[in-house]
Amino acid sequence: MRNLLILSVLTLFTVSQLACQKGKEVTTAGGNRVLNHTNLEGPKATFGKTVLISVNTWVNDSLVQSTSRDAGGPREIALPDSSQMKGKVPAVFEALMLMAKGDSATVIQPLDSTMKKGIPKSFGEVKEIRYEVKLVDIITPEMLQQRQAEEMQKAEGAKAQGMVIAQTVTTMLADYKSKKLANLKKTDTGLEYVIIEQGTGAPIKDGDNIPTNYYGIRKSDGKMFDNSYDRGGPAPFAVGGLIPGFNEGMKLLNRGGKAVLFIPSSLGYGAQGAGADIPPNADLVFYIDMGQ
């Protein structure tokens, strides 16, 4: 349904034929009504460019899709070349052609009988879909190149950091096995852990979604089975949605905290294991670095 809401196809139009003044509603050739709330000066979005947009999609009084709620913020999309549109343009794309960087607009898309079939009956009678659109930025090729260079540099930095963490975890496992590991603690469930930094942020609780760097090895032989550093950085983890030992270990920290967890198989993947690298009844060791 989301694809229907955002990408329902409409008739191609010529931008120069429309003048979307601030506070004035215009109707596009595709039959959509567009009200530009700001009408800022500057270059408009055009086909073939990459743009950064925020969109809230409403069906009657229900917010069914939101870039801030569902994607964590504005979404970057590449507007296809006009030759690829084959005479048809999505409603939001029509509005973007009338907007400059920083503009916001309301787009009303009437629904025909075919479109209405894609709307769940729970919404009742639906005659139109409303989009609240903001054109946050127009991304130039130079900006894309700079971003790619920054992402590459960030990925290389993460891999280098991962190599340091690997050595730290390997050393701590050796000390653990020789019973020389300092500051080792154990919970009532059997989770053993060493807190490296408690963290200065808010306490971590179930339901939190936290960017987390991690490095996991098998306790038996120290073989690495997964880590975030090789993928360029932290992964968003929902506290309470992971293996029990990992969930418990996260909640021992505040945001920004770091720890090494020694997770028995009963708090890990148990008798079923997980893929080729985590056999049944495997005890695991994780280094975790909780983001803010």
Residue pLDDT, tens place only, 188-218: 999 999 999 999 999 999 999 899 999 999 9
Distance CA 119, CA 127 (A): 10
pTM over 0.85? The answer is no
Q: Give backbone dihedrals phi and psi of 70, rounded to 5 degrees, phi first.
A: -95, -25
| The total number of residues written for the chain in this structure | 292
Higher pLDDT, 186 or 76: 186
State the fold for domain 157-290: Chitinase A; domain 3 (3.10.50)
In whole angstroms, how far apart are CA 115 and each of 12, 90, 125? 18, 13, 12
Give the dihedral of Cα atoms 23, 24, 28, 31; nearest 10 deg. Answer: 90
Distance CA 122, CA 284 (A): 46
| 22-54 as b/e: b if 16+ CB within 10 A | eeeebebebebbbbbeebeeeebbebebbbbbb
Contact 267, 196 (CB under 8 A): no
Q: Show the CA angle centred on residue 9, arms to residues 36 and 125, nearest 5°.
A: 80
Question: Over 50: is that where the pLDDT of 7 sits?
Answer: no
Domain with CATH 3.10.50.40 in the chain: 2-139, 157-290
| CATH fit for domain 2-139, picks 3.40.800.10, 3.40.50.300, 3.40.50.10610, 3.10.50.40 | 3.10.50.40
What are the tens digits of pLDDT across the range 214-254? 999 999 999 999 999 999 999 889 999 999 999 999 999 99
Mean pLDDT on 63-89:
81
Question: Over 80: is that where the pLDDT of 6 sits?
Answer: no
